[in-house]
Every structure is written in structure tokens, then in C-alpha cells.
Amino acid sequence: MAIVFSLFAITSILSSFHRKPQKVIFFGDSITAAGAKPGGYIVKMTEALAQKNLSSNFELVGAGIGGNKVYDLYLRMDDDVLAQNPDIVFIYIGVNDVWHKTLSGTGTEIDKFGTFYTAIINKLLDRHIKVILCTPAVIGERTDFTNQQDGDMNAYSQVIRNLAQKFHCGLVDLREIFHNYELKNNPGNKESGILTLDKVHLNDAGNQLVADKMLEALLAK
């Protein structure tokens, strides 16, 4: 029995060395595109995994395109996500769906936002891919909800929370996480400069916060 157990243990150890890393795709807009560049949250996550000796467990891939809205993700997901056979997908979208309604009149109405988002989730779940949803963080960093798009940002974030609950997906509630951080670290109620460069795109502190919270979700049991 001792010999059999030893052979089994050796086989298990050897098989672990040959196990493929889990492919993790980050699917989103310009915030995600920047996340894959030096200093971005995806790069910071890769560095953190290395520090934890977990580099061989995960392959992190950015799939962000500037200006994308939820229907852009739906239209390109076959080529940019499913073709890569990922194990896990983070969906981080919503800022442009809200922002462009005011900026250029080309945003996404909330009912259509939910419809396209649901279609994306279903296509991923049909392939047995683990899905982690992320609420959009901020369009303006004021803490008292006086940023122009705060009402829509709260409403669209709630749509995502509801979808996470309905489909039993993971959730990184960046909307809530950023607000709580701002309450502690933005006593001057500044519109930008705490976690963002320009009210939307992340500075170093913002990228670090997103990296920390997404890594928690990735490593959660």
C-alpha cells in the first residue's frame, strides 16, 4: 500500500507541473486597454501573482478597446474572447454607455444595456466559463453624488449587481469600492485626481485599487 500511495503521490505531483494555467480575459473598454499597459491594473495583478508564486496558475489577457460600449463587447466577443477558450472572464463595461449619452448622444439606454449584458453572460456560461462582473467605477470623483452622471452610474451599476445575483456570477463592485475609498481619501470633494486622471481613466492609485479587488475575486474560493 505504501508503494502504491507513493506512486500516486508522484503522479499527482508530476501532473501538477503539466497543468495548464487558467486563462483569464479582461473584457472592456479603454480602462481595460490601459490596464494591460505598464502600470495598469492587469500588469499589477500579474506582478502580484508572481510575488505569491502563482504565475504558473494564471495567464492574464487584456481585451479592451477604447470607446467600447456593451453592444461592442457583444459583437466582438466571438473573436476576442471565445476564440481564446478562456477559463475566466472579467466584464468591465458601462462607463461609455452612460458617458456617451451626454457626451455625444450615442450611449446605451438602460434596458438595452441589460439586454446586451445578459446576452454576453449567457454566451460565456454556455461555454462553462466562469464570469466575474464589474460595476463601472466613476465619471467624476465627487463624494456627494453631484457628478453629472451619478444617477445613471448608480442605476446601471444596479443592473449589473442584479445580473450577478441572477446568474450566480462573481462581482467586483467597483462603484461601491471607489465611493467608499473617496469618502476616506477625498476630503476636498475633488472631481478627479484621487483615483483617476480625468474623472474616468485610472491613475496609479486607481489601477492599484482595481488590481487588488480583482485579484481578491480571482483567488476567491
- Give the chain's domain count: 1
What pLDDT is recorded for position 104?
81
What CATH number is given to the structural domain containing 28? 3.40.50.1110
Residue ranges for the chain with pLDDT beneath 50 = 1-5, 7, 9-17
pTM of structure: 0.91
196: DSSP letter? B
Q: What is the DSSP string of 61-118?
A: EEEE-TT--HHHHHHHHHHHTGGG--SEEEEE--HHHHHHHHHTS----HHHHHHHHH
pLDDT digits (tens, 9 = 90+) for 82-107: 999 999 999 999 999 999 988 788 99
The answer to whether residue 2 sits within a structural domain is no
The answer to whether residue 210 sits within a structural domain is yes
